[in-house]
Each structure stands twice: as C-alpha cells, then as structure tokens.
Structure 1
C-alpha cells in the first residue's frame, strides 16, 4: 500500500517538477494531505507547532541567538506569501542566502533533502495548504500565477 501511494505521489511530483512554470501543490488531494499531516507531525510540529501556530507568539522577533523563531504555517503567518516552488525549495534545501533568504541570513531551518523525499515534502506542503481558508488559498494561488507569469518572460 505504501509503495502504491508513493508511486502515485511520484507521478504527480514528476508532472509538477518537470513543469516548473506551473509548479502547483494541490491542497485538495486527500491522499497527499493525510500522508503530509503524519509527516508534518513527525518532522515539523516540534518547531512550527502542532496546530501550525509557530514556535512562539512573537515569531517576528529575533531570539537570543539573533535568529527568527519558526513562523506559523497557518493563515496568520507568511508561508502563503511564497509560491509553491519557493516553499518546496526552502523545505528541501533550508534557507539559502541569496536564493530563498537575504544574503547573510541565518536560520535554524534545516534542509530536509536527506530526510524526506521530494514527494514527501510535497505532501507536507499539501497538508499545510489544506488548513488555509479559501480566501488565503485564493491569494496564494495568485502568488503562484505571478511567479508562473514571471517565469514565462
């Protein structure tokens, strides 16, 4: 069953990754969302909160180490401000200064490329997006469309 699920997910990932201009993670895919939720609980909730609420209520204020705490992934955070391709890149590779973070930026966000497969990362992001209200999903889809438009030019 797990092998069939991963094969099915892999098909979707191949189509998404092979067409970067239209990279889209579907939050209505119940299989992705269910599997992603279990992975989120195992790998993300310790920092981002079991209810996606973030590490601290003051997630915009730097801690003693000078770094920002893990932000919320619910509608109150800024996750939805980033296109799916950037969310995938941050999760897979961590915060990379000059690519997914400002130059010199330091973060406690680890890279998950050696921990989770690309398919599993996509399911986690599908779960996160599935918790957003319709108005936030619509705004996020506009963020995706803007990125796709820029990529075509």
Structure 2
C-alpha cells in the first residue's frame, strides 16, 4: 500500500509540473518555435526581397546601408535606421531577437520602458513567415564570412566576441 501511495504522489507531482510547463510555454504572445532564418531558401528570399522593398527600404535603404550617420541620434532622441548590410550590427544578433524586434518593435522586444524608436512593430501588418522572409533576404545579402559568423552567434546563443 505504501508503494502505491508513493507512486500516486509522484504521479500527482509530475502532472502538476507538466501542467505548469504547458501553461507557461503556451502563454499568449510567446513565440512557440525557434526562429531560424533561411537565406538559402530561394522562394522565401524572393518573397523577403519584395516585402523589404515595400516596408523597410524607405528607412534602411534599397542597398541595406541605413540612414547617413546612423550612429548619431535624431534631434528627438530616436535612433536613425541602422544598416542591415555587413557594416551594421544586425548580424551580431540571434535570429530570434531579430524576429522579435521586427514583430514587436525594439522597446517591447528588449523589455525597455522609456525607449523611443521610429522602428514600427510589424505584428498584424506582416505574418511571421513574411518577417522570416525579410530577415532571410537580409541575411542572404551578407558575405559568406559574415553569414558564417552569424550562424556561430545563433549556435552559441549570444553576440560576437569581437
């Protein structure tokens, strides 16, 4: 009888732990899948190029060069649109963070309270697939060496050491 009680208690604890994990992981707004850019997926990259030109190029440039003097703030304190080519810092960030910034906006993605940004959140304007397509197109434009370094950043889970 004691063995059955221990087994029942263990089963109850496991059910609570599993139920809590499911509830926590299924919170509304939580990205459920690991985001991975696909710069070698030709059709997705073509879609991303079109979406980039329609939604991003006006600020970040047709050539991904960003705004002139992008490291200097605007008079209102907002930051200028950075380049998304190899000269910028985009490739220093993991796929998942790039996705969150694009979908939710910089302040929400980074949990910043009083951060002003001209970067819009595209949640509701673009689907997750469209966001991944744009980011995949951007990555497809980087030199192979930068793409390889970005892959390492994703694998290591952080920013580059240099």
Runs in 1 of length 4+ with deviation above 3 angstroms? none
2:60 matched residue in structure 1: 48
User: What is the distance in 2 between the residues matched to 1:82 and 1:24?
Assistant: 12
1:96: how far off?
2.0
Q: Structure 1: which 5+ residue stretches go unaligned?
A: 1-16, 149-153
Counterpart pick for 2:151 among 130, 138, 141: 141
Name 2:21's counterpart in structure 1: none
What TM-score results when the alignment is normalised by the length of structure 1? 0.78
* SS at structure 2 position matched to 1:96: helix
Query: What count of residue pairs does the alignment treat as equivalent?
Result: 128
Name the structure 2 match of 1:35.
47
Structure whose CA Rg is larger: 2
Q: How far 1:100 moved relative to its partner?
A: 2.0
TM-score by length of 2: 0.74
Q: What is the aligned-residue RMSD (CA, Å)? A: 1.6
Query: RCO greater where, 1 or 2, for CA within 8 Å and sep 6 or more?
Result: 1
1:39, distance to aligned residue in structure 2 (A): 0.3
> Which runs of 5 or more residues in structure 2 are unaligned?
1-30
